Amino acid sequence: MSPNETLPSDPGSIAFIGGGNMARSLIGGLVSRGIAADTIHVAEPVEALRAALEADFGVRTHASALQAASEAETWLLAVKPQVMRGVCEALATQAQVARPLAISIAAGITIDQLSRWLGGDSADATPLPIVRAMPNTPALLGAGMTGLHANAQVDAGGRTRAEALLSAAGKTVWIEDEALMDAVTAVSGSGPAYVFLLAEAMEEAGKAEGLPDAAARTLALQTVLGAARMLTESDEAPSELRRRVTSPGGTTQAAVETFESGGLRDLVAQAVHNAAERGRQLARANDEDA
Ligand SMILES: NC(=O)C1=CN([C@@H]2O[C@H](COP(=O)(O)OP(=O)(O)OC[C@H]3O[C@@H](n4cnc5c(N)ncnc54)[C@H](O)[C@@H]3O)[C@@H](O)[C@H]2O)C=CC1
Ligand SMILES: O=C(O)[C@@H]1CCC=N1
């Protein structure tokens, strides 16, 4: 979906709990697709962030999570994994009364954990409909990628609502096995940082070869943009696009052989594995009952 297209269905009123980097990217996506800013509430303790969200997007902000949550039928939990438990427990009573659709974007934190924390003290609280979503920051441009997983309490309407909300950020894919959400986090949630790192490294290497700073940056960044567009706008596999740049005995071959003999593929696999493992650790580290 391109940034100016409207959404296929209205996601209804939304309370973002946490108004940091990822919430900001998602809010930018929603507002640019014509979602009325006054249906978006944001709870954020940092006053400067609240002021910036109001000025930039016209959304309603609150210092209190409970206040924002009481305004909306969908809660988008966008705080760090390390504070998620406290935030959920503070909202538990309201959650059991209002029974919102709760969507968490926190890395690692499982639906079982969210369900327990939002269930409050009552061990037999009826499980809430909960969606685990893993977006990424290109959401701000409508070019994001989100993996979604729902528990059994989420009905077709809830799935449609979650998908409408996250599709404001770009593409979505449903993941039926929750255990794979850590792999989604490791590939696409964290993935933009890997591409930014490559861009940084290309820029630095260009400077080391003698290019002026500004030229090195433009050459690296425009190359990443052009390659990303070819990857998504052509029907060819990445390996075929690479083959077409690589003249036998030429310059690209010299570079690609250096990457391959240096173990780039193994390094990427190890990096993705470590990111997924970190997601699993975050779940354990933030749950003394697990
Ligand atoms: N940054 C990214 O690229 C992505 C982040 N995520 C997930 O999104 C979540 C947020 O990450 P970021 O936006 O990067 O972090 P962030 O630190 O920029 O945002 C979190 C915000 O929550 C606020 N906050 C803290 N306690 C709060 C409370 N009790 N009530 C309301 N707000 C509270 C903080 O002031 C902060 O502004 C994390 O769980 C992360 O795993 C998921 C996908 C991508
Ligand atoms: O680094 C993190 O933990 C978060 C989750 C995915 C991207 N940023």
ipTM for the complex shown: 0.99
| Side-chain-side CA neighbours of residue 272 (13 Å) | 17
| CATH 3.40.50.720 location in the chain | 14-184
Angle at 164 between CA 160 and CA 170, to 5 degrees: 135
- Non-local (6+) Cβ contacts of 151 within 8 A are 111, 115, 127, 129, 130, 131
Q: Could you tell me what percent of the chain has a pLDDT over 70?
A: 94
Residue nearest to atom 5 of ligand 2 (CA): 107
Q: State pLDDT tens for residues 24-47.
A: 999 998 998 888 999 999 999 999
* Phi, psi (deg, nearest 5) at residue 242: -65, -40
| CATH 1.10.3730.10 location in the chain | 191-280
Residue nearest to atom 8 of ligand 2 (CA): 190
Residue 229 β-bridge partners = none
CATH fold, domain 14-184, is Rossmann fold (3.40.50)
The verdict on the CB of residue 20 being under 6 Å from ligand 1 is: yes
Distance between CA atoms of residues 134 and 123, nearest Å: 28
Whether the Cβ atoms of residue 183 and residue 105 lie closer than 8 Å to each other: no
Reported confidence tier of residue 169, pLDDT bands at 50, 70, 90? confident
CA nearest to 157, candidates 97, 96, 100, 91? 100
Compute the distance from residue 189 Cα to the ligand 1 centre, in Å: 13
Q: State pLDDT tens for residues 225-237.
A: 999 999 999 999 9
Compute the distance from residue 243 Cα to the ligand 2 centre, in Å: 32
The verdict on the CB of residue 127 being under 6 Å from ligand 1 is: no
Q: Which of these ranges, 32-36, 63-67, 117-121, 187-191, has the smallest mean pLDDT?
A: 117-121
- Non-local (6+) Cβ contacts of 192 within 8 A are 136, 137, 138
Judge: domain 191-280, CATH 1.10.3730.10. Answer: yes
- Around Cβ 75, how many Cβ atoms within 10 Å? 29
Residue 74 β-bridge partners = 14, 101
Closest ligand 2 atom number to CA of residue 107? 5
Closest ligand 1 atom number to CA of residue 86? 29
